[in-house]
């Protein structure tokens, strides 16, 4: 039984991980990930890499939708911009910057470019919100993909047929297997998550939350809506750009159609399922959203014996399950899985006294 978290100073209360549970959890996770990288089989590594990439992007969406309360159905476009920026920059810098150092130039630049685009896409948020913003961002997603596909830009973007990407090369260490990429993705995702947790306790993070709770009230309190809404868009886009960069390094070729509306909706759905406005929300959400189709596929293969004729029901079933999951959480558990785990942890914490 634990009664509470003793804090002897304000400094202790203001730390990123402000209690021992959180610290233990974070160190435990680091160890678990290290073991995973070493021992998991290829299939699990593959799935984990996909989760990691998606997780970075969902953390970005969480900043915008979960903390600042702005809806976006266009974050797939930012992932696209991150992925294409990295690839185009790598192509452009070949021979100028030594290969083993390229990533240190390319990655920050790609993230910065995405952040700038994020500010532009965020401009309508100053005039519209809610539904109108959702449709404006959705429109922006269509337009970004359309521009990437244009023949006029094809020499740089590859156009509709896509473009081959580079392997990540960190100081001469070429990450050309999934397992090596997992190490990079896991580290980046872990740091992103910690950075997001840190962001929320800062002045900027608190401003975001004030805007989410009531934007006009926040403005009256002296929070500049212009500045913070655009900051939120920029940060959130930057995370998605980072996810895009990982995407480009992980896959050998990228296509514009990989970043269409489906991806944007998947990001938001993962956030809703996991829990909006909570640090661990994206983690739970991404796990469910990535695992669910796999589990359905494996179960279906198990029960039908891998019969090709019945394989055609798998994709529709995955689609229906995705929709049901989204609807279920919105109607029955709007705060997401994070809320469920909260309740469990609280009950465990107070056991054997008050429950729930």
The first and second tokens of residue 248, run together, are: 């480009």
Give the one residue of 52, 76, 77, 149 binding another protein; rule: CB under 8 A: 149
Question: Is residue 331 close enough to count as binding another protein by CB under 8 A?
Answer: yes
**Nearest CA to 62 among 220, 239, 230, 203?**
239
Nearest approach in angstroms of CB 238 to another protein is 22
Q: Which long-range contacts (CB under 8 A, 24 or more apart) does 18-24 make?
A: none
Tell me which of 265, 280, 341, 349 binds another protein, using CB under 8 A.
265
Residue 10 as a binder of another protein (CB under 8 A): the answer is: no
Question: CA-CA distance, 35 to 203, in Å (whole number)?
Answer: 36
For the bound state, the minimum distance from the C-beta of residue 104 to another protein, rounded and expressed in Å, comes to 24
Cβ closer to another protein: 87 or 102? Answer: 87
d(CA 355, CA 353): 6
CA R_g for the chain? 21
**Choice from 171, 295, 344, 348 touching another protein (CB under 8 A):** 295
- Does position 330 interact with another protein (CB under 8 A)? The reply is yes
Determine contact, residues 194/16, Cβ cutoff 8 Å: yes
Q: Which of 16, 119, 135, 170 binds another protein (CB under 8 A)?
A: 135
Out of 3, 127, 352, 354, the residue judged to bind another protein by CB under 8 A: 127
Give yes or no for residue 142 binding another protein (CB under 8 A). Answer: yes
For residues 208-237, which are near another protein according to CB under 8 A?
Answer: 214, 216-217, 220
CB of 18 to another protein, least distance (A): 25
**Which span (109-117, 201-209, 237-245, 306-314) binds another protein, by CB under 8 A?**
306-314
Residue 311 touching another protein (CB under 8 A): yes
- Written as six digits, the tokens of 111 are 């993230």
One of 81, 122, 322, 337 touching another protein (CB under 8 A): 322
In DSSP notation, 329-346 reads HHHH-TT-HHHHHHHHHH
What does the alpha-carbon distance between residue 171 and residue 93 come to, in Å, rounded to a whole number? 16
Q: Which stretch binds another protein (CB under 8 A): 19-27, 105-113, 122-130, 193-201?
A: 122-130
Query: Least distance in Å: CB of 36 to another protein?
Result: 5
Angle between helical axes of 203-213 and 178-200 (0-180°, round to 10): 80
Q: How far is the CB of 251 from another protein (least distance, A)?
A: 7
Q: Which of residues 37-56 bind another protein (CB under 8 A)?
A: 38-47
User: Using CB under 8 A as the criterion, what x/- string covers residues 64-103 for binding another protein?
Assistant: -x-----x-x------------------------------
Told to check if 353 binds another protein by CB under 8 A, we report: no
Q: Which residues neighbour 323 within 8 Å (Cβ) at sequence distance 6 or greater? A: none
Nearest Cα neighbor of 74 from 152, 2, 139, 148 is 139
Tokens at residue 177, please? Answer: 């297997």
Q: How far is the CB of 295 from another protein (least distance, A)?
A: 6
What span, in angstroms and rounded, lies between the C-alpha atoms of 226 and 216? 12
Q: Is 6 in the site for another protein (CB under 8 A)?
A: no
CA-based nearest residue to 273, from 217, 341, 348: 341
Give the nearer residue to another protein in terms of CB position, either 16 or 139.
Answer: 139
Rounded to 5 degrees, what angle do the CA atoms 106, 110, 112 make?
120
Alpha-carbon dihedral 50, 52, 55, 59, rounded to 10 degrees: -150
Task: Using CB under 8 A, pick the residue from 13, 21, 323, 345 that binds another protein.
Answer: 323
CB 89 within 8 A of CB 157: no
Nearer to another protein, 14 or 213 (CB): 213
Does residue 299 bind another protein (CB under 8 A)? yes
């Amino acid at each position: 039984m634990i009664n509470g978290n003793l804090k002897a100073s304000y400094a202790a209360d203001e730390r990123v991980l402000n209690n021992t549970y959180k610290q233990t959890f974070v160190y435990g996770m680091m160890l678990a990930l290290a073991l995973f990288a070493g021992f998991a089989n290829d299939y699990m590594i593959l799935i984990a890499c996909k989760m990691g990439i998606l997780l970075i992007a969902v953390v970005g969406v969480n900043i915008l939708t979960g903390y600042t309360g702005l809806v976006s159905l266009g974050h797939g476009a930012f992932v696209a911009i991150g992925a294409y920026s990295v690839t185009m920059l790598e192509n452009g810098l070949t021979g100028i910057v030594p290969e083993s150092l390229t990533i240190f130039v390319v990655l920050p630049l790609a993230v910065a470019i995405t952040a700038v685009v994020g500010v532009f896409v965020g401009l309508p948020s100053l005039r519209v919100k809610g539904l109108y913003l959702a449709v404006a961002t959705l429109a922006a997603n269509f337009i970004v993909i359309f521009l990437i596909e244009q023949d006029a830009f094809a020499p740089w973007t590859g156009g509709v047929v896509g473009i081959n990407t580079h392997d990540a090369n960190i100081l001469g260490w070429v990450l050309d297997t999934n397992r090596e990429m997992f190490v990079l993705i896991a580290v980046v995702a872990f740091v992103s998550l910690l950075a997001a947790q840190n962001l929320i306790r800062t002045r900027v993070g608190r401003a975001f939350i004030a805007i989410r709770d009531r934007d006009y009230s926040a403005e009256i309190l002296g929070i500049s809506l212009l500045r913070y809404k655009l900051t939120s868009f920029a940060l959130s886009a930057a995370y998605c750009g980072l996810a895009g960069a990982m995407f480009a390094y992980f896959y050998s070729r990228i296509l514009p159609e990989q970043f269409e509306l489906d991806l944007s909706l998947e990001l938001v759905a993962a956030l809703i399922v996991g829990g909006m406005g909570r640090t661990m929300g994206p983690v739970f959400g991404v796990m469910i959203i990535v695992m669910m189709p796999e589990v359905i596929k494996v179960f279906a293969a198990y029960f039908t014996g891998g019969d090709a004729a019945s394989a055609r029901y798998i994709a529709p079933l995955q689609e229906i399950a995705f929709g049901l999951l989204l609807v279920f959480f919105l109607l029955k558990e709007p705060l997401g899985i994070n809320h469920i785990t909260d309740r469990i942890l609280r009950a465990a914490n107070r056991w054997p006294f008050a429950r729930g």
